[in-house]
Structure 1
Amino acid sequence: MLTLYGFGRVNSKVVGFTRDLRVLWALEELGLPYQVHGVDHPSGELRGDAFLRMNPFAQVPVLDDNGFVLTESAAILLYLAEKTGRLIPSELEGRAQVTRWCFAALSSVELPLSQLLMVDLLGASDPTGAQRRPGLVKYSERVLGALEDWLGSRAYLVGEAFTVADILMATVLREVRNAGVLEGFPKVSAYRVRCESRPAWQRTLDAYEQRLGVPAGSTR
């Protein structure tokens, strides 16, 4: 049985943006049996000795596959894809392209988007947020423009097949779904909607909202 350490309690401002969602989505897509160990972030459980032995960075998600422990959301997604032979091409070149886009989602696209998300979440409590936001919007638009061009007529990042790279990219794009920056990128916006329309994602959100005790539909 796979065990995923995800959030059981977390600051309400970040509900719907947490990175355990990426792995939960993959698990639902793959139909693997798993259980969720809900970690209590506000109580400091991530800083406890038991958790730090699994992840010294005190972060979720953490996957425990019958004693094999793995951290970092992209690494976990690639591991699950390789383990099952699904959500990733069978040939070397195709797998390399999926890996490439996993890195791109987290190192190229998420970098400005996550900063913009934090500025918007913190609001007035961030004394320099209003000054930094225009620059972050410009930075975000640059990477989104590159993604817009890449998608072109492609349904997904690596051709016509949905892969773990799309899970990562779609969850990254969720970070700015309310920031207004996606409006000028119709192909990126349509791509995000296409990914989030998958039944596995809907099941993921339903279970996530129930576990965190938030109103149904509030994370859409």
Structure 2
Amino acid sequence: MVWSRSSHTIYVYVMKGTYTHDLLEDLLGHGIFAVDGEKWREQRKVSSHEFSTKVSRNFSSVIFRKNAIKLGNILLEAANNNHKIDIYVQTKVNIRLLDNKKDLFMKATLDSIFKVSFGIDLDNIWGSSKQAVRFSRAFDDANTLTSRRFFDMSWKIKKYFNIGSEAELKKNMKVVDEFVYNLIQIKSEQIHKTTDFSVSLYFCSQIKILRLSSSL
């Protein structure tokens, strides 16, 4: 654990080390959540400034309110029609949630984060985009499988032979990569064509750091 002082702010972060970095690299690459030292400080400095701006705070507040209203309307409709729905479901790999009304908290959160960070409407709550739903499922499964590495001492062997959970992770990461590379291309083109910087260059550079570096 390291204490650091910048201007009038004191913050603390936990050193991850090479062991944790190796565990997370396939999913998080060299993004802020998987690195230490100068790489971490540089990304934190930029992201801290980005999230502290008034424009960013106002924009994110609007997005979270809109998705909260969507979520509330779904719950209200279910209550009025006496329908049972799952607002939270712990995702398990190889179990597909076919009902769009399941796991609503996760879907609403992911919708908000992607809109605030990248300006993309996933609309997982309603499931209107098959591509976005496919990405969300793959990302959630990849997150679960990556977390299992902390308890599976044989994960590197499985990865080397491309078997078991590591084969499943690789398959899910292919879906994630396809979606994110397409996102990078779309956002790069939009940024060069518009003067609306509510979606900043920083976030687009972050997903490049995440995905490009993890594929090297």
TM-score class, shorter: 0.3 to 0.5
Structure holding more helix per residue: 2
Greater Rg by CA? 2
